[in-house]
Each structure stands twice: as C-alpha cells, then as structure tokens.
Amino acid sequence: MECYHCGKTILYGRSHTHHRGVAGGRWKKRAQKTARIFKPNLQKVVILKGGDEAKVRLCMKCLKRIKNDIEEGKRPFLTLGNPPIKLQDKKTKRHPEFISGSEDAETCLRQAG
C-alpha cells in the first residue's frame, strides 16, 4: 500500500490520552502512550500509461495536484483515464457573471474597483 507517484506509505507513531484536571499533581496519572499506525489516504484511479490503462493507488495530495494542474491549464504529471474529479474553471466558479469576451464583465470590474 503506497502511492504510485510519491511513494507515501504507512507511518508508525505513538498516541496518548490526556488526563486533564486530575487531582494529585502532574505525574500521578501520567498519560499512557500507545503505538499506532498512520495510514495514507489512498484512492484507486485509472491512469493512461503508454496508451494503456492501468489501475493504481494515488494519495489525495497527488490527486489534488493533478486536479489543480488541469484547472490551471498546466500539463499534469499523470494522465487520468477517467477523471473522478469534477473540473470547473476557477474564474467561472468564483464569479459566474464574469464571462470572457462579454461587455458586462468590464462594467462589473469598473463598479467593483
């Protein structure tokens, strides 16, 4: 279980509970530390690799990077076979009344500024 692009995998760490407000001072009821596993948020996606489709696991950080690259018009580092992400133009998402090439957009900008 690791990310196909960045290699993100399971991490081991420790967690502990807090005993706030316990009588007897700081060290009487000390919080116990237990071992735990931190798992990456991996998603199964289909990518195009050499003209063929391949099923791989990508972490959400890499998927967000692909989504943002597509929205900004950049070439993403991987090509998704069937993008599970809804893509919207950021300009129309923020200001639906601003449509490129329309005269109303210029008047709205003058009124706002």
The pLDDT tens digits of the residues spanning 24-70 come to 666 666 777 889 999 999 999 999 988 899 999 999 999 999 988 88
112 occurs within a structural domain: no
- Write down the pLDDT at residue 32: 76
Instruction: Indicate the pTM of the whole model.
Output: 0.59
54 occurs within a structural domain: yes
Q: Which two tokens stand for residue 65?
A: 């990077």
- Write down the pLDDT at residue 110: 59
- Number of separate domains in the chain: 1
104 occurs within a structural domain: no
CATH code for position 54: 2.30.170.40
12 occurs within a structural domain: yes
Q: Which domain holds residue 43?
A: 1-16+33-82
Q: Which residue has the tokens 């009588």?
A: 23
58 occurs within a structural domain: yes
- Write down the pLDDT at residue 100: 46
- Write down the pLDDT at residue 97: 46
Q: Which residue has the tokens 């893509």?
A: 87
Query: Which residues, including other chains, have CB under 8 Å from residue 12's CB and lie 6 or more apart?
Result: 35, 36, 37, 38
Percent with pLDDT over 90 in the chain:
33
77 occurs within a structural domain: yes
